[in-house]
Amino acid sequence: MEGFAETGTFVTDTVAESSHLGKWKIRLIAGLLATLTMLVVWKVAVAYPYIDPDSSNYKAMADGKIAMKPFAFRVLGPAAAQSVATLLGKSTTDGFVIVAFLSGWFLLYCVLLPALGRDRYRWLIPTLLLLPFWLRNFENYFLPDLFHAALCMVYLVLLRWRRWGWAAATLVLMFLARESTLLVAAVAVSVLWWVAEKSAAMMQLAGAFAGLATSKFAARNAAANLHHMNDTLYLIGKIPWNLSRNLLGVTLWTNTLHPEPPLHVWNLPRWTPTGNIHQIGYAAYHSIYQISTAVQLLTAFGLGSCLLFILVWRNPLRNLLPKNEPYLCIAAIYGAITFLLAPALGAAMTRLFDYGWPLFLLYLPAVIPRVWRHWPTWIVVLLLPLHLITAWTEPARLIFFHSNIIGTFLILIVCNLAAATIWFGMTSPYNKRKSPADTASETDGPSSPGFIP
């Protein structure tokens, strides 16, 4: 039986097979696919509109009104929407839609290029194109998620090209789009200090400080946050609040925010720096929150989380981070951290798990052709439907069926167990083998491990 040929160390300079297409043809095809996909996404989003509760804050900024923190730190997206609307004579809402469309197009274009550059791994294209990630993020067009993701992709491209100064300047823009750029900067500084030039790391550190200062200045006249707390304490306080609900199934309560009736309430000492929060408590336990967290994790990128688990299980972690490609290391580490932190970041976890896109849409498609080669056709035929079912079961439930989430959870468990069984069987030591001819054919091709230059 033909199985995966798995390498002992991470392949950093070659891929299994390069494309017979020229670079310009690859770029043209990627552009056409990205355009068609985003047009379909736009049509579906119009047919099934969704407005996030936070949207009013971003629209207010685009309309020149004062918003409260932490939304006021994220001024770049509303400013871009306002500029586009003014330029084209459209409403600010249309401006947000256009910015989201262009952001999604650019992100998808860059995601498709590496897959199109490998003839044998073109099957990766539908696994990327058909994810609900694109629809989910586009329909939240008022939010800065897709815009920030596009800027993050620009940042990673510049790191791949080793344009350290331009990358540092991009960090400033990213801070103005979303303050969680601090995590991107922390990972980038650490990785570049470790595997690249220390001067490059210092440039990113300078860009981070400049971005923090600029975003603080931009929000200097903003209204205080809901609890009138210190901004840093407010962000820190969100972590136990969200973890308690999403992982423990217990919703916390305050006198300023009370989603459910509390079982117990305690008065806080007057000296605590908690702003208008004078009482805290907790509500009754509900297992549905924990099940929802599991469902969002398993469905966010289809079988991506299952694939990642097996990849790490079968390969030493040191072999999965290519030191001569810092941008891939940053994409993997930043994406993994944000994916794991999603339950601590907020209640709308589906889009919070989406923050891990650099790991699943950029790093994994680059790694799979290097670590696991010679995928039999029957494996793809089996795994692709499982991947799409896993990715679309929860969105379909929410849009069309409105059924119990328990059924979705069971479907996801079955699909992931089936995929894990296939992968574990194909990557077992018995099935690992590679002939010298295979090795020669794999290393003769030109280097094209990431973005097409």
* pLDDT, averaged in runs of 10, over the chain (453 residues): 41 48 88 96 84 84 84 91 95 94 97 85 89 93 94 97 96 94 96 93 96 88 68 74 86 77 81 77 87 92 93 84 92 95 81 93 90 79 93 87 86 94 72 38 38 42
Q: Name residue, tokens 């200045």.
A: 217
Cα–Cα dist 361/331, whole Å: 9
pLDDT of residue 348: 67
Cα–Cα dist 420/427, whole Å: 10
Rg (alpha carbons) of the chain, rounded to whole number: 23
Collapsing DSSP to helix, strand or coil, 270 comes out as coil
Cα–Cα dist 348/350, whole Å: 6
Cα–Cα dist 152/154, whole Å: 5
Q: Name residue, tokens 């995929």.
A: 419
Cα–Cα dist 205/300, whole Å: 31
SS (H, E, C) 350-410: HHHHHHHHHHHHHHHHHHHHHHEECCCHHHHHHHHHHHHHHHHHHHHHHHHHCCCHHHHHH
Rounded to 5 degrees, φ, ψ at 267 are -85, 135
pLDDT of residue 437: 33
pLDDT of residue 399: 77
446 burial level (CB within 10 Å; 0-12, 13-18, 19+): exposed
Cα–Cα dist 7/355, whole Å: 30
Q: First CA to last CA across the chain, in angstroms?
A: 37
Distance of CA 307 to the CA centre of its chain: 16
C-alpha distances in Å from residue 3, one per residue of 327, 365, 376, 398, 423? 30, 19, 7, 38, 10
Cα–Cα dist 254/265, whole Å: 8
Distance of CA 431 to the CA centre of its chain: 33
In the chain, where the domains are located? 5-221+300-443, 231-290
pLDDT of residue 12: 43
pLDDT of residue 424: 81
Strands 250-254 and 5-6: unpaired
pLDDT of residue 198: 93
